[in-house]
Amino acid sequence: MRRSGFWNASVRNTNNMNAEIDINGVTLKTERLTIRPWRMADLADFYEYASADGVGQAAGWSPHQSIDESRMILTMFIEGKNEFALEYNGKAIGSLGIERYNEERFPEFETMQCREIGYVLGRDYWGQGLMTEAVRELIQYLFEDVKLDVILCSHFIGNIRSARVKQKNGFRHYSFGRYHTLMDTWVDDDTGILTRKEWQDRNPG
């Protein structure tokens, strides 16, 4: 797939186990999607999908109640420099984040470059393989260009769509756990793992 802007990405080791990542200037392209940093001009698109019932709950947050709420979160995305917008036909339809994994839960990755990815897609675009396509491209970027050793990805038990995205991209089950959501609830989750070696074995050359 076509990609550009890798020279602007950065990763460095710190005293903790999470690799520090900055996606400023990074643009990834797949057959149907442009995967790029969020910008404030995306606010209306962001609010449109983030306010829809059923979208946020699958990721542990409530639907946005106002465009001001979306503006606040979008500002966090932009300043955090680790959340991609998924652009489809000129419209932002979802997000793909390179998140910090739980170091207390997974201390075994202390000597490795590791991150957890998370994703959300607007309901109108479910069932079209778009997120599978986006995650595939992100994995290639994280292993080939950022040089991560391990990628984790979790989904709530019962979220079949998210589980399929993981499965299609080669993640294997690693751990069951409990996740405290932004809605102040506890949900059972399933964390999958993909190592750079496993990915390289599936994608020789």
Least reliable range by pLDDT among 6-20, 83-97, 113-127, 141-155: 6-20
Q: How high is the pLDDT of residue 183?
A: 82
Q: How high is the pLDDT of residue 19?
A: 75
Q: Are 162 and 190 in contact (CB under 8 A)?
A: no
Closest CA to 52 of 43, 69, 40, 64: 64
> Which domains are present in the chain?
3-202 (3.40.630.30)
Q: Show Cβ contacts of residue 66 under 8 Å, excluding neighbours closer than 6 positions.
A: none
CA distance 28 to 1: 8
Residue range 7-41, pLDDT digits in tens: 234 344 444 468 788 999 999 999 999 999 999 99
Residue range 170-197, pLDDT digits in tens: 999 999 999 888 888 899 999 999 999 9
Q: How high is the pLDDT of residue 17?
A: 64
The amino acid at residue 160 is I
Q: What is the mean pLDDT of residues 117-128?
A: 96
Residue range 39-54, pLDDT digits in tens: 999 999 999 999 999 9
Residue 163 in this model has a pLDDT that exceeds 70: yes
* 96 DSSP β-pair partners: 84, 119
**15/75: higher pLDDT:** 75
